[in-house]
Structure formats: C-alpha cells, structure tokens
Amino acid sequence: MDSPELVIRNMQRDELDILVDWAAKEGWNPGLSDAEIFWATDPEGFIAAELEGVMVGGGSIVSYDGLFGFMGFFIIHPGHRGKGLGNTLWHARLQRLAGRLQTPAVIGMDGVFDMQAYYARGGFEFAGRDLRFETSARSFPVPMNIVTLAEVDFTAIEAYDRAHFPAPRSGFLQRWLTQPGAHALGSVRDGQLAGFGVMRPCRNGYKIGPLFADNPEIAEDLYRALSSQAPGETVYIDVPEGNHAAMQLAQRHGMQEVFGCAKMYYGSKPVLPEAEIFAVTTFELG
C-alpha cells in the first residue's frame, strides 16, 4: 500500500497558533503575542507540512525585505517523528526561503545543538552559541538616563536596531515594542539613544530580547531597569556566548543556563557589532 504523500504548503493564520502551542509543549516558552506579531511580520513566512489533511509539522521562513531570511519554529508533531518527514520539510523550507531572497541568499537560524551537524550538511555554518539563562527578577535603582521607548523618536530606535540586525525590520520592531504587557526601555546619553531592551510576557515569566547597548555599563543599566519592572517573576535572556561582557552580566546576576542554540548562517555571516549585542531578539525570527 502506498504511503500518503506529504504536502508542503503555506500555513494558515490559525495554524500558527497550533505551531506556537506545539512550541510551548517542547519547552520553548513562546511569548504571549508571538503568533500575532510573527504573522504580521511576514504572512508568507510560515510553512505547514500536511499529511492526509492534517498538519503534522511546520516552521518559519521569514524574509526581511528580501535582504535577509530566518528559519525557525521547526517542529514535527511527536506522533509523526522518525519517518523522514522533518527532512522533507526542512529542505523544502530552505528552498522556498532562498527563492524569496535576493541573491546571494543569506539565511540565519538558531538550531538546537543536537541538530547542528544536520544543518551543517544543509549548507549552514556555525557562528557561535546563544545561551538561554534564567533568573528571578529583582528591583534595582534605575538610572536617570533610562526612559521608556515611547519617549524616543522611532526613527532613532529603528536606526539603532538596524545597526545591530542584518536587515531593516521596521514593522516587526513597531509591533514588538508595543505588544501588550511588554516593557521597552532605552538609555539616552547626551541626547542620543545608546541602547535599548525589550522584556515581553511569555507562557512562563518574561523574556528579555533584544538587549543592545553601546557598552557593558549601559547594558547593565538596561537589564536592571527591565528586571525592576517584574520583581519576583521568572526572567529569561538569550545571550550570545561570544560577547564576554554579556556572559559576565548573566554570571553577575546569578543566572542559570537552561537552554541553548547554535547560531548558524547559510551564506556570508552578517557583519554586526557583536560586543554590543547582549541578548538576541528571538530564536524564531532572529
């Protein structure tokens, strides 16, 4: 008897909610507004794998204005693993995303460590580890130079973000900063934005990301200010291991490493000020 054929197609909006629920069951702890924000960023950027009319897997293939792509949310439902479906879905996603980007395509991803060799066979090169740390938020004195990002001109925020991310993402950024329950703070020095961070509510506690800052002192100020918004709550932060000052920040605050991913790129690694990236935005959309 012939095996049913796996259908690879664009995802529907309600199916992204299902994928986010699957991610929560995997322990990825998605943000409460992630599905809405991610979909609005690129409605064509989510792919479903369907078997006999039922979605059995999915993932993101988000394009940022055709300049940079990101693959994430790669999940096959536990009941359908071990059948080779993930391999078919992963290669289909890569092919589709490459076709949505200007050439030469540059695609990023944060892949779980035990899949790193598999992704490397698909053409991705390792660029470092992003480590998730957990702590309990505390209250700290907040420096005078810390402001809410609502007080900062968006063009300044957008420019600062663009200096720390491989492509423009204006629409995403606007929604990310204003999502319900989030705290978005900046450091303003001599009238200039010198760093900003966002802490969003998740299924469990909060996640801080991104956290970009001109130097470790500003990053420390922003972390303390964000932590002070939710004392006693569990807080997570995804730290690039190669930023030693960021790792020291995590150690200084007694954070515990609980998860991690391999940062990998298909194509040339973007040139970014890595010493100013203290926390990545998401493992799902970059």
Is the residue at 102 inside a domain?
yes
* 23 shares its domain with 47: yes
* 123 shares its domain with 158: no
Is the residue at 284 inside a domain?
no
* CA gap 61, 107 in Å, rounded: 9
Task: Detail the DSSP E strand segments found in the chain.
Answer: 6-10, 46-51, 54-64, 68-76, 107-112, 125-136, 146-148, 183-189, 192-201, 206-213, 234-240, 256-266, 277-279
| Residue-wise pLDDT tens digits, 38-51 | 999 999 999 999 99
Domain count, the chain: 2
Is the residue at 286 inside a domain?
no
Chosen domain end from 90, 111, 127: 127
* 137 shares its domain with 91: no
* 50 shares its domain with 148: no
- Over 50: is that where the pLDDT of 1 sits? no
Which H, E and C letters describe 66-82, residue by residue? CCEEEEEEEEECHHHCC
Query: Tell me, what's the pLDDT at 105?
Result: 85
Query: Tell me, what's the pLDDT at 117?
Result: 96
| Residue-wise pLDDT tens digits, 156-212 | 999 999 999 999 999 999 999 999 999 999 999 999 999 999 999 999 999 999 999
What lies within 8 Å, CB to CB, of 202 at 6+ separation is: 29, 30, 31, 32, 236
* 158 shares its domain with 96: no
**Whether the Cβ atoms of residue 239 and residue 246 lie closer than 8 Å to each other:** yes
* 99 shares its domain with 205: no
Which helix (H) or strand (E) segment holds residue 42: the answer is: none
- pLDDT above 90 covers a percentage of the chain that reads 97
Is the residue at 203 inside a domain?
yes
pTM of the model: 0.96
Mean pLDDT for all residues in the chain? 96
| Residue-wise pLDDT tens digits, 121-145 | 999 999 999 999 999 999 999 999 9
| Residue-wise pLDDT tens digits, 228-268 | 999 999 999 999 999 999 999 999 999 999 999 999 999 99
* 69 shares its domain with 200: no
- Over 90: is that where the pLDDT of 3 sits? no
Range of the domain at 249: 132-279
Chosen domain end from 86, 110, 127: 127
Q: Which two tokens stand for residue 143?
A: 């420096």
Residue 224 sits in a domain whose CATH number is 3.40.630.90
**Of 153, 143, 75, residue with least CA distance to 111:** 75
Is the residue at 47 inside a domain?
yes
Is the residue at 16 inside a domain?
yes
* 166 shares its domain with 236: yes
Query: Tell me, what's the pLDDT at 2?
Result: 46
Residue 67 sits in a domain whose CATH number is 3.40.630.30
How far the first Cα of the chain sits from its last, in Å, is: 42
* 112 shares its domain with 214: no
* 251 shares its domain with 156: yes
* CA gap 74, 48 in Å, rounded: 10
* CA gap 199, 201 in Å, rounded: 7
Strand partners, 189: 192
Is the residue at 285 inside a domain?
no
- Over 80: is that where the pLDDT of 4 sits? no
Q: How far is CA 118 from the centre of its chain?
A: 21
Chosen domain end from 111, 127, 143: 127
Is the residue at 259 inside a domain?
yes
* 49 shares its domain with 112: yes
Query: Tell me, what's the pLDDT at 146?
Result: 98
State mean pLDDT over 54-79.
97
* 88 shares its domain with 142: no
